[in-house]
Structure 1
Amino acid sequence: MTVVESVSTSAPVPPPAARARSVGGSPVRDILAVTARPEVINFAGGLPAPELFDADGIAEAYRAVLAEEPARALQYSTTEGEPGLRGALAVRMSVRGLPTDADDVLVTTGSQQALSLLATVLLEPGDVVLVERPCYLAALQAFGFAGARVVAVPGDERDGLDPQALEELVVRERPKLLYTVPTFQNPTGRTLPGGHRAAIAAVAARHGLWIVEDDPYGELRFEGERVPWIATHPGAEDRTVLLGSFSKVMAPGLRLGWLRAPGELRRACAVAKQAADLHTPTVNQLAAARYLADRDLDAHVRRVAAVYRERRDAMLAGLSDALPEGASWSRPEGGMFLWARLPSAYDTTELLARVVRHDVAYVPGAPFYAGEPDRSTLRLCFVTQTPEEIGEGLRRLRAGLRG
């Protein structure tokens, strides 16, 4: 019997779409992977402090939902989200100065999904998106995957983007949308002043521009007065999408976010969400609604913010010794992040590997920029370590930066 050996003549599979190839990955991902080691004091993460989660309250909400309505909790739901949760979210926005009905709200699987839905619905390849300088990294990725051309709006260190520069760019570039995190921004921690917010709303109204206002950190205020949302200003009513999330105030593992948007755009996002995941998990939505009904989320957030303030203060107290002469840094009134700029001779991406060898980590600033980055910048998260751990981490950072 003759055995014939087969020779594979299989053709290669088609490559990924151009948008996937063009976005690429994070230049620091491999280096930061080592920060999972328990001995590393990690200022690089964007994670809330897990020891502050109201685990008992959340667990009780799940138990109640599964005991009282298990069939509903474990069943498919509507794409727009559970009515009880949408109603509770509408109330929370209304009492904060933005009149909202349940029908104005679409529940999403984290606010990151809201960004993806908006990119899908609003953007064609080549469309222009305006962002802050620097900007939340995952937003840059979402817009990049949609094929958008992302342009940064000039601004200053303290107050963020400049409304006059925004208007000039809107006239020149004809963008589809402006994306902003105006309160306790990621990565800088800065807050856009009220006057700037009103001016942005007026620019959008004059020139026909969507505003995507992302507010995952706004409730984590330590000091100062709350600044009203851009969405509350005249001219912004029919063109602002407000994004929110329970990730920083309840728990990120719930994967619960939402968007509030004008009707036609909200309905288009619901269709896009249906194609993506049908709906956000029903049991998570019902448990969150039950938690809001039975517990005082605002009191919980105040307790968390008080701890975060102590940790921010500990980091601020040690930065002058940790960073080289000539460095500067922000003093956020809330949120999770602090932004630092070293003298121009420093490249924080190149320095990271050396710093990690001292068992401490930060995020280099370069990936947060659309266009030419400032390579002397870095982001520090101050919420996941105790004041004592922060002090030790800053001593390690000083050693790492000095070689």
Structure 2
Amino acid sequence: MKGPRETGFAYQAVYRYLTHLINEPGCGTPIRLPSLRQLALRLNVSISTIQYAYSLLEKEGRVYSVAKSGYYSRPIAILGPLTSGNDLLETVYVHARRPDMLVLSADEPALLQPLDSPLLMLERELLRQYPRQPQSASQPCGELELRTALAARYTTSPARCWHADEVYIGADLRGVLEILIAVLNLKDALVLVESPCDWVILRLLEAAGVRVIELPLQVCGSLDLEQLREALESKPVRLVMLSSGLSMPRGSQMPDDNRQSIAQLVTQHGCWVLENDCYGELGFEPDGARFRDLIDPDRLIVFSTFEKIIGPEAPYGYLLSRQLGEELQRHFLLRAFRLSPIRQKAIARLYANGRIDQHLQVLRRLLKERQVQMLQLLRERLGDALQPVEPQGGATIWARSLRQVDVRRVFQRLLKQQVVIAPGELFSLQGLHGQHLRLSHTFSGDHDLGVVLGLLGDALRLEAVD
């Protein structure tokens, strides 16, 4: 099994350029980095590409942003050794960006079939139609054409309908969720999430002072209704976050009856429901009703990103909400996201002309093929060491070690062999999933996956706890 074609995304070159700027000698104090527009002109790439590279560095703690001022590098003395080992997630991020590593920890479905070429082609056509973008035309909540396209896509009936003024688009998913946390005033509030849960979301909630309750998914992909009922009745849960279709990183789908029972429970208790739709269109087979089809729309917020289906050239995050309009508009205006209106128009046209749906058919097929090959190799090479959950979509495989192992030591051993995996503990704030790991079946470059899985098997056996 070989990796997909080398995509050579522009953001990777921008990322490397910025790391050189940050690491230049004499950078012992914070320095202001070039603006999005300056870098776009200097490197001849889009502002969205620059924004994405900066967002990666911000996640790694290597840069920070100041409202209405720009991006600044963190001094090396403050940043400390990039591979100190004190923060597992930091170590994963840093090594995943090294060009000599095979990254089996990533979650990049669009890497198999990015939609960057059609997107950029449409963008060039639109630039000829809209050669100048007057500053007065700025739309702080996102380009109207794209918000209208999203509203239409999420509308399923007269009762379950959305309008453009209920859609909000930000520079990336992190920025959008930060605004939502502020609008809902979630600091010190209780939020219930499925577990395992995306590490970006968990770290964001933790940094904001949100008190997180993790409800583990069962083997069949369902939530324990009694545990959920007890949590809702005994604690002042402000918000429940649920996956719309795929529960990632497990790649499983909730049974329809479980989803309906959960919807009834949260409705009875009057909680806000936050539906994570980042992977909603990446299931291999059509599933049943989504939570947004079962929950009162006035107590519902939906969030997602284009990045998982289009690729890194479309890093924008977005959310839909009926009830929080005034506060959301105020926060988006204060946040002052600088988004390319032409890039947003191009994405809107991809939805309008049906290109997104054609792309999704191909992408799901390719993901399914890669998943089947990966599972077959795992059974052949690691059948005595790992028990994978067979994914129903997405680009990753969640697996449990059949032996008691120190997964951190497995991770460190593989780093020395230039392989990056994602230990399961990253997907919990409460110490769950210590015997699990997440593997990706999409990666760039030309690698013999059989050999790599052999290295993983050796590490699991050598780090087994007696």
Cα deviation per residue 1:307-329 (whole Å; 9 max; x = unaligned)?
11111011110112443626321
8 Å contact kept, 1:327–1:343? yes
8 Å contact kept, 2:275–2:300? yes
Counterpart of 1:319?
A: 378
1:383 counterpart (442, 454, 460): 442
Distance 1:372 1:400, change over 3 A: closer
Does residue 48 in structure 1 map to residue 113 in structure 2? no
Structure 1, 24-33 or 279-288: larger mean CA deviation: 24-33
The 1-side partners of 2:349 and 2:451 are apart by 40
Letter of the 1:231 counterpart:
R
Does residue 282 in structure 1 map to residue 282 in structure 2? no
Give the Å deviation of 1:26: 4.1
The 1-side partners of 2:395 and 2:374 are apart by 11
Give the Å deviation of 1:400: 3.0
Cα deviation per residue 1:264-310 (whole Å; 9 max; x = unaligned)?
x1332222222223454323212212333345210111111111111
Distance 1:36 1:245, change over 3 A: closer
Counterpart of 1:243?
A: 303
8 Å contact kept, 1:84–1:289? yes
Letter of the 2:289 counterpart:
P
Counterpart of 1:152?
A: 214
Distance 1:32 1:398, change over 3 A: farther
Distance 1:79 1:207, change over 3 A: same
Does residue 88 in structure 1 map to residue 119 in structure 2? no
Structure 1, 107-116 or 203-212: larger mean CA deviation: 107-116
8 Å contact kept, 1:358–1:399? no
Distance 1:237 1:35, change over 3 A: closer
Counterpart of 1:127?
A: 189
Does residue 267 in structure 1 map to residue 364 in structure 2? no
The 2-side partners of 1:380 and 1:333 are apart by 15
Counterpart of 1:60?
A: 121
Counterpart of 1:396?
A: 455
1:7-26 aligned within 5 A? 26=87
8 Å contact kept, 1:86–1:103? yes
**3-state SS in 1 of match to 2:237:** coil
Does residue 252 in structure 1 map to residue 283 in structure 2? no
**3-state SS in 2 of match to 1:199:** helix
1:332 counterpart (391, 398, 404): 391
Give the Å deviation of 1:96: 9.1
Give the Å deviation of 1:372: 2.7
Counterpart of 1:103?
A: 165
1:117 counterpart (157, 179, 184): 179
1:301 counterpart (325, 335, 360): 360
Give the Å deviation of 1:383: 2.3
Structure 1 gap ranges (5+) = 1-15, 17-23
Distance 1:384 1:218, change over 3 A: farther
Does residue 136 in structure 1 map to residue 195 in structure 2? no
Does residue 170 in structure 1 map to residue 247 in structure 2? no
The 1-side partners of 2:283 and 2:337 are apart by 34
Give the Å deviation of 1:245: 1.8
Cα deviation per residue 1:35-89 (whole Å; 9 max; x = unaligned)?
4444533211122343621333111111122111132387752222222111111
Distance 1:63 1:87, change over 3 A: same
Distance 1:291 1:225, change over 3 A: closer
C-alpha RMSD of the superposition: 2.7
Letter of the 1:72 counterpart:
Q
Equivalenced residues, count: 378
8 Å contact kept, 1:80–1:107? yes
The 1-side partners of 2:428 and 2:290 are apart by 24
**3-state SS in 2 of match to 1:340:** strand
8 Å contact kept, 2:259–2:291? yes
8 Å contact kept, 2:304–2:319? yes
Q: TM-score, normalised by structure 1?
A: 0.85
Counterpart of 2:133?
A: 72
Q: TM-score, normalised by structure 2?
A: 0.74
Give the Å deviation of 1:208: 1.4
The 2-side partners of 1:70 and 1:386 are apart by 38
Letter of the 1:303 counterpart:
V
Give percent identity, aligned residues only: 26
The 2-side partners of 1:150 and 1:292 are apart by 35
Structure 2 gap ranges (5+) = 1-63, 65-84
Cα deviation per residue 1:311-357 (whole Å; 9 max; x = unaligned)?
10111101124436263211111112211111352121221111222
